[in-house]
Amino acid sequence: MIDDADSLGECIMCIYSKPLQQKRRCFFQITESTKHNYRQNKKYTAAGSVSGSVQVCETTDCCVGYYRIINGTPKADILACDRIEKSCPDETCKAQTRINNQFLTCMCNTDLCNGNITWGKEQTSHPYSYFSGMAVKPLVGILLFMCFWIVVAQWRSCLKKKSKCANYQQEMHTGSDSLLVYVLQIVGRGHFATVFQGTYQGSVVAVKFLPAAYEHNFNTEKEIYELLLSKHTSIVNFLGAGRKPDDKSWFIVLQFAEYGSLHSFLSKQTTSWMFSLNLCQSLSQGLSYLHSDLLSHDLHKPPVAHRDLSSSNVLVKADGTCALCDFGCSTILRSCSEPYRRHNQNKNTKCIQLGTLHYMAPEILEGFVNLNESMFLMQGDVYALGLLLWEIWMCCYDLFEGGAAPQHLLPYELELGSNVTLESLMLYVSYMDKRPCIPEHWELLPQGAALRELLEDCWDSDSEARLTAHSVVERITSLQSSYSLSDIK
């Protein structure tokens, strides 16, 4: 049973900030060592009026502290009011995350509470983070170990039943009906699933198999596909789902995307300006549709946050447009038009720990996202969308001199290497407020300024300042009409 207050609090249309009775006062300090980080410092300075070492917070009730550990003692780098409203239930400033064993962050909700940080040398977790109550490193280790054994087990069973895995006809059950699917070769693997190319009713399809233990991911993904009302061209088409009778694995039958994932597409080829715009436009339309709250002929499609957007979870179809896939980590959000609907408040921590780290928004990396707040989840998707647009344009030969686009790289791969860790990302993205490098020569292109502005408005560190997916679609439409190929040559 959902009470009114609860539904109001989570309703995306009705988010409001409660007026503060008395403004919070926090210690204020920005040290020389952080002066390079002009953008972030400016935002902290703007968070309230400063008088000497005290800041009176304008809109938030939380004080923050960023500390650097020097000779085993934390020294304050930044002390200020928080820039945006977040949950900070602690009265004292307890160290929440330790970055590279060098940096600590803390948040608290009493006057001048950020002047002192409480920390233990072993303290690394944050009570409100996605990793709540767990030590991240051992957990990731255990999960990676489990994944390794799942892959080994699948590979061994594949070897045993080689003829079956390679090419077999399988009658699969969807409750009352059965699907006759002819399964051919493997076309992709994720953390949970193995995807095969197959045929169903004479058409080429993709069949995604999830091991029997992943019922939760299967149910979430199936539920999302089933509620997506009328089919949208930028969401991969769902054809059926069920359970294999022999090994009890789950399967989902989907439209086959001829070019595979966006990641594999961009790794193999570069694109023209117009082609890149089609990819970006269809991708943004897919996300805008996913986030939309639609009511049509008594059918309701509530907003959905994807929560695991990456270039491996976007497909490229034969017509050169993108389609979103992999909704196993998605969350159905509450909307004002139907407040009492049952919602899958998906708090599956496996998703976040196994999802591609590169695309995690700073507030998610820091663990400051309340999973019940719809807006935060959608803003996290828009951050990932910004990184995906950057990935696509970095592979567009028309945007590089002599038509030589660089080799495809994931966001932050250039800056942090191929083995990006949670700690290195937190340091780079969250603490230093850095983003993937936008080539300087783009400023000289007619559309360069618009591209930069669009990317920066998607990946802003202030999640509330980010564009909505719908406004990204509008910006790309105006790029399409303003800059044709002849303009940029």
Ligand X SMILES: Nc1ncnc2c1ncn2[C@@H]1O[C@H](COP(=O)(O)OP(=O)(O)OP(=O)(O)O)[C@@H](O)[C@H]1O
CA–CA distances in Å: residue 326 to residues 147, 387, 454: 18, 18, 26
The one among 187, 228, 280, 455 contacting ligand X by CB under 6 A = 187
DSSP 8-state assignment for residue 389 = H
The one among 206, 287, 426, 455 contacting ligand X by CB under 6 A = 206
For the record, the structure tokens of 396 come out as: 């567009």
Closer CB to ligand X, 65 or 260, in the complex:
260
Angle between helices 469-482 and 448-458 (to 10 degrees): 170
Helix or strand (DSSP H, E) at 422? helix 422-425
The one among 208, 232, 334, 466 contacting ligand X by CB under 6 A = 208
Task: Tell me, rounded to whole angstroms, the distance of Cα 200 from its chain centroid.
Answer: 32
Q: Looking at 93-101, 224-232, 321-329, 406-414, which segment touches ligand X (CB under 6 A)?
A: 321-329
Residue 4's contacts (CB-CB under 8 Å, 6 or more residues apart) are: none
Closer CB to ligand X, 60 or 353, in the complex:
353
Angle between helices 469-482 and 374-393 (to 10 degrees): 30
Question: Least separation, in Å, of the C-beta of 16 and ligand X?
Answer: 34
Residue 169's contacts (CB-CB under 8 Å, 6 or more residues apart) are: 180, 181, 182, 183
Q: Is 328 in the site for ligand X (CB under 6 A)?
A: yes
Q: Is 195 in the site for ligand X (CB under 6 A)?
A: yes
For the record, the structure tokens of 349 come out as: 């921590």
The one among 80, 104, 325, 454 contacting ligand X by CB under 6 A = 325
Catalytic residue among 77, 90, 308, 381: 308
Q: Looking at 85-93, 192-200, 338-346, 442-450, which segment touches ligand X (CB under 6 A)?
A: 192-200
Q: Is 396 in the site for ligand X (CB under 6 A)?
A: no
Q: What single letter denotes the amino acid at residue 15?
A: I
For the record, the structure tokens of 221 come out as: 């993904």
The one among 103, 128, 131, 192 contacting ligand X by CB under 6 A = 192
Q: Is 425 in the site for ligand X (CB under 6 A)?
A: no
Q: Are 154 and 211 in contact (CB under 8 A)?
A: yes
Q: Looking at 10-18, 107-115, 186-194, 405-413, which segment touches ligand X (CB under 6 A)?
A: 186-194
Question: Least separation, in Å, of the C-beta of 237 and ligand X?
Answer: 8
The one among 191, 291, 334, 358 contacting ligand X by CB under 6 A = 191
Task: Tell me, rounded to whole angstroms, the distance of Cα 63 from its chain centroid.
Answer: 26
Closer CB to ligand X, 82 or 326, in the complex:
326
Q: Is 193 in the site for ligand X (CB under 6 A)?
A: yes
How far apart (Å, rounded) are the C-alpha atoms in residues 476 and 365? 28
Closer CB to ligand X, 312 or 353, in the complex:
312
How far apart (Å, rounded) are the C-alpha atoms in residues 188 and 259? 11
Q: Is 374 in the site for ligand X (CB under 6 A)?
A: no
Q: What single letter denotes the amino acid at residue 77?
A: D
Any idea which residue has 């936008």 for tokens? 438
Closer CB to ligand X, 240 or 260, in the complex:
260
Q: Is 381 in the site for ligand X (CB under 6 A)?
A: no
Question: Least separation, in Å, of the C-beta of 271 and ligand X?
Answer: 18
How far apart (Å, rounded) are the C-alpha atoms in residues 105 and 78? 9
208 is in an annotated binding site: yes
User: Looking at beta carbons, which pairs linking 435-442 to residues 24 or more positions away fall under 8 Å?
Assistant: 435/459, 436/387, 436/390, 436/394, 436/411, 436/412, 438/390, 439/394, 439/399, 439/400, 441/401, 442/399
Rounded to 5 degrees, φ, ψ at 249 are -75, 155
Q: Is 235 in the site for ligand X (CB under 6 A)?
A: no
Q: Is 326 in the site for ligand X (CB under 6 A)?
A: yes
Closer CB to ligand X, 234 or 447, in the complex:
234
For the record, the structure tokens of 307 come out as: 């929560």
Site for ligand X in 249-288 (CB under 6 A): 254-257, 260-261, 264
Site string for ligand X, 110-149 (x = CB under 6 A): ----------------------------------------
Q: Is 315 in the site for ligand X (CB under 6 A)?
A: yes
Question: Least separation, in Å, of the C-beta of 275 and ligand X?
Answer: 19
Give the interface size with ligand X as a residue count (CB under 6 A): 25
Q: Are 276 and 392 in contact (CB under 8 A)?
A: yes
Q: Looking at 101-109, 127-135, 173-181, 189-197, which segment touches ligand X (CB under 6 A)?
A: 189-197
457 is catalytic: no
Helix or strand or coil: residue 447?
Answer: coil
How far apart (Å, rounded) are the C-alpha atoms in residues 83 and 394? 31
Closer CB to ligand X, 184 or 479, in the complex:
184
Question: Least separation, in Å, of the C-beta of 317 and ligand X?
Answer: 9
DSSP 15-72: --PPPPSS--EEE-EE-GGGTT-HHHHHHHHTTEEEETTEEEESS-S-EEEEEEEETT
Question: Least separation, in Å, of the C-beta of 302 and ligand X?
Answer: 22
How far apart (Å, rounded) are the C-alpha atoms in residues 434 and 415? 10
Question: Least separation, in Å, of the C-beta of 107 and ligand X?
Answer: 31
The one among 60, 97, 109, 312 contacting ligand X by CB under 6 A = 312
Contacts with ligand X by CB under 6 A lie at 187-193, 195, 206, 208, 236, 254-257, 260-261, 264, 308, 312-313, 315, 325-326, 328
- List residues with catalytic annotation: 308
Point out the annotated binding site for ATP. Answer: 208
